[in-house]
Structure 1
């Protein structure tokens, strides 16, 4: 290629321009790229473009170079870190174009450094959060997701780009919890609540529900307007045992007696004010809970077996007519002299 002609075209541009072949070997580096990467043209030419860009987008770049399905267009846009000669990471945006040449396809990458922008903020935040074991995501004042760390795949099954694409945690809240959570978030933002924990069910990528505990941190500007929101999500499969009923419990309790397999054998007459006895009689108690709470009860049973706990209390949603009602569940398990479970008593308290 005529490098003199390329210099005439690209050396006065504000963007870094890098041209490389199908294998990623750099064949042209303009003056802006030299300043950005801190390599001279001579030092850069012959190096691999993969050595100058963080590994997160290597696979996308390889797919583009090989024209794999989904990467067959003539351009590819990405945001990621570049690696300077001093090994400092800088956030940047990339526009990669395919150029047909008489000696085979070549590729031109136009690179623009990101500074003092939401894109730069999300990428710099990445340096802190990428290795955190729980989900960390970042949102702007409009609650648009700017960043999520790799832990999102473990809990939700989404890749990072997919989670950002659907809209982050707000979009994944289960239908039955969404109105409540959105209202609480809006109200807490108006009241400038800086830190609060929200618990709800959310959809995984396969459509399954998972219980989530989300610690939300807000930052506000000097006028009190929301500036940024940081969400710290983790699975909440079951609540730890507590020593006494929560103060919000009503005075009425439903008493149920379960056999060793969890089948309901007896329901107290006082239960009629809380539950439909005919709906429950002879059923397995776990089947009367919300699907996501059934999993929580299974975890609670495992906790009982492992730790020898005979009394458990936690909050769940219990079936009533065609809906589910939040209640506090108190279980007492009884065992015979051989350590075999014989029966369980269940007391249900309506919340509120």
Structure 2
């Protein structure tokens, strides 16, 4: 494929897969609604994020190995189709069991999409435009994450069924899979030594890599946890109505969307290490302020600010680690995707603490996550 110019015919279907990737963020909406529909406590309801994000730990490296055999486009389509099935199942057969199975399939599909979509996008854009398109792909993902809560509220109010948002994203997934299937993309050949589970795990013996991988664990845990918990916080502590509490989540994703756009511009002038320190510091401050929000308006504003300040931490950690150990990029990539399983671990911890004490106490888990992120940002700065 000639990558000297940008072909809309090739780029567009790949970018659409990033919109499908945002389906994993439906977990926050689903936690609130499933909890209410089946009368679950916080601990049980927070098992839904566990069903989605545990697969990142289990399947990331195997997915990469299989991808080397069958190709990125085929692997990506498998992930998109599994995502569609996972969305359709709880819509057509609604029970707590089918929700858990459906979101498990959604997690498997999303793991595959995250492993496959980025390298396939690199294959269809010129090398000089790779960074900008990778940033734009996160912008596309953020659009889906931001509009989903509004869609769920609209469907609930006008059609009496919030699950229509699952059907809508499922249909988009089918469209994406069909479009990508009929788009013949010439993929680049992998010339580097292939990553394996064994070679990846050995790198955890390197202190810098281990600390940075744990940083991915905590930043994703914070991201998914705020998504899954902020609605309950607004509902219980701020005493907002259910619809407004769910829509408050969209402010978080709007902050993330704006943050990724601004980050791409600011990183032209600021070093990644200094930008990481600034982002981690701001995330810690805004998370603390959110817990002590005096009014619903202040809480909603701070949800937006948490999304804004935390939005670039994941790519910054990834970039700094790979830059420091460029010859081990494959293994580091596998470990970073495995660490996304933080999204499966942190929310149930928050839910358990909330049940034992209260929702405000549970939110302090996110403060701990932010403190760790500030620690590794300073550590990384000193190691440069």
TM over 0.5: no
Which has a greater percent of helix? 2
Which has a greater percent of strand? 1
Which one has more relative contact order, counting CA pairs under 8 Å at least 6 apart? 2
TM-score, normalization: structure 1?
Answer: 0.21
Larger radius of gyration: 1
